[in-house]
């Protein structure tokens, strides 16, 4: 009976349908570990599915993950420990997609993180009920959906969603769970949430737009974290119709704010509201040049530059920041010991840490 209830609960993650039922923490973690190519911590239902095909999947996943660990993640963690300010408990990550990896490596101390993306939540597939061939196709789709993150450090939405559809998983939830357990975390619970007009966050299986998900997980040190992911368009025309969302963001406790590989959207006039929210709420802002254009920062902000500024890649025209380029030529610039962003083929990456000057509100 418990197994039946579990799979009924998983079906909630088809957008807009499902019925609520309880599920144990360990079930979420076991399922996530199976999808991530990680062995179970104790014998159970999924250990019987660890056949030869799964073992080969695990080996390929291990190799890809170790390569990323060596080339990028270890360097990112060391850099973050030295450069990113402490003292935050909330993290705000607009234009994130399912990128739990950057968030947990750069900001390991967050208690609550708010992610915003255009990608749908989707569902976790009932892999234990699949045929072997269907199960393998799903696993291959999950691994394929991570190829851009592993190679380039960011997701390409069209690639990711195409890969997931091929494995009949059409959203970000499976990817987020896989990244978290691969990063050493233990999934405790997953719930649907939504934001009321007054900005209050509520849990409910039938969530109106913008749909949200809450993933609760623990770190090896025992610290408890949660990530809230919302499918939300951040253009002014959409935020103006969702006052509750802005109120919720305003309730965050001076969050650390982060954005990267954000398609330069906050350079444009149609994204004034999200820029204003970041300026008003953020304890500090860590971003690459695809985030808020330098011209929007007033004199109350000071900037620490890292890496090298290069003109945007050819996919993005009209967003070359000559003022930022000049700043890179005239100001002190620190090294950036890892490659992360659109210039992944050349390594000409940049990051900017913006904090308020002492004595300014």
Q: Quick one: pLDDT at residue 1?
A: 38
pLDDT, greater one: 168 or 69: 69
pLDDT at 6: 37
261, pLDDT greater than 80: yes
State how far the Cα of 32 lies from the Cα of 216, in Å rounded to an integer: 13
Q: What residues does each domain of the chain span? A: 2-282
Q: Helix 173-182 to helix 157-166 angle, to the nearest 10 degrees?
A: 100
How buried is 33 (Cβ within 10 angstroms: 0-12 exposed, 13-18 middle, 19+ buried)?
A: buried
pLDDT(15) > 60: no
- 239 in helix, strand or coil? helix
For residue 148, give the 3-state DSSP assignment: helix
Express each pLDDT in 182-237 by its tens digit: 999 999 999 999 899 999 999 877 665 557 999 999 998 889 999 999 999 999 99
Q: State the Cα–Cα distance between residues 175 and 121, nearest whole angstrom.
A: 10
In the predicted model, what is the mean pLDDT of residues 72-82? 94
Averaged confidence pLDDT in the chain = 84
Number of H helices, E strands in the chain: 13, 11
User: Pick the residue with more confidence: 16 or 52?
Assistant: 52
Whether the Cβ atoms of residue 278 and residue 285 lie closer than 8 Å to each other = yes
Percent of the chain with pLDDT strictly greater than 70? 84
155 contacts 138 by C-beta, under 8 angstroms? no
Average pLDDT over residues 15-43: 70
pLDDT of residue 158: 56
User: Which tens digit of pLDDT belongs to each residue from 119-157?
Assistant: 888 777 677 777 788 888 888 888 877 877 766 655 556
Query: Percentage of the chain with pLDDT > 90?
Result: 57
Whole-number pLDDT of residue 18 = 35
Which pLDDT belongs to residue 285? 98
pLDDT band at 13 (very low <50, low <70, confident <90, very high): very low
- What pLDDT score does 358 carry? 79
pLDDT at 203: 87
pLDDT of residue 7: 37
With beta carbons less than 8 A apart as the criterion, state whether 98 and 179 touch: yes
pTM of the model: 0.87
- Per residue in 94-127, pLDDT (tens digit) is 999 899 999 999 999 999 999 999 888 877 767 7
Mean pLDDT of 40-50: 89
pLDDT tens for each residue of 306-325 = 999 998 888 888 899 999 99
Backbone angles phi, psi at 134, to 5 degrees: -65, -40
Those residues whose C-beta lies under 8 Å from the C-beta of residue 10, and which sit 6 or more positions away, are 23, 123, 124, 125, 126
């Amino acid at each position: 009976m418990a197994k039946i209830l579990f799979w009924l609960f998983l079906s909630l993650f088809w957008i807009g349908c499902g019925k609520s039922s309880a599920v144990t923490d360990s079930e979420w973690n076991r399922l996530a570990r199976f999808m991530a190519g990680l062995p179970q911590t104790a014998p159970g239902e999924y250990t019987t599915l660890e056949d030869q095909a799964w073992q080969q999947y695990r080996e390929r996943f291990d190799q890809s993950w170790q390569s990323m660990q060596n080339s990028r993640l270890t360097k990112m963690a060391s850099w973050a420990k030295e450069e990113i300010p402490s003292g935050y408990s909330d993290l705000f990550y607009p234009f994130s997609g399912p990128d739990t990896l950057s968030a947990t490596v750069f900001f390991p101390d967050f208690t609550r993180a708010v992610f915003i993306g255009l990608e749908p939540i989707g569902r976790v597939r009932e892999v234990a009920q699949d045929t072997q061939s269907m199960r393998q196709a799903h696993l291959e789709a999950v691994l394929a959906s991570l190829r851009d993150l592993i190679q380039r450090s960011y997701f390409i939405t069209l690639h990711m969603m195409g890969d997931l559809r091929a494995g009949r998983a059409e959203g970000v939830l499976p990817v987020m769970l896989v990244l978290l357990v691969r990063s050493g975390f233990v999934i405790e619970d997953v719930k649907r949430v939504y934001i009321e007009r007054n900005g209050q966050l509520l849990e409910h299986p039938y969530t109106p737009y913008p749909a949200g998900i809450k993933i609760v997980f623990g770190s090896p040190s025992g610290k408890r974290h949660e990530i809230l992911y919302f499918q939300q368009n951040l253009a002014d025309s959409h935020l103006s119709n969702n006052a509750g969302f802005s109120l919720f963001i305003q309730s965050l406790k001076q969050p650390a704010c982060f954005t990267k590989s954000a398609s330069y959207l906050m350079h444009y006039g149609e994204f004034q509201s999200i820029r204003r929210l970041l300026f008003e709420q953020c304890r500090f802002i860590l971003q690459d040049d695809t985030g808020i254009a330098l011209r929007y920062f007033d004199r109350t902000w000071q900037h620490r530059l890292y890496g090298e500024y290069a003109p945007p890649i050819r996919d993005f025209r009209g967003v070359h920041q000559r003022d930022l380029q000049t700043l890179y030529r005239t100001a002190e610039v620190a090294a950036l010991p890892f490659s992360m962003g659109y210039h992944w083929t050349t390594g000409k990456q940049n990051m900017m840490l913006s904090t308020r000057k002492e004595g300014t509100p």
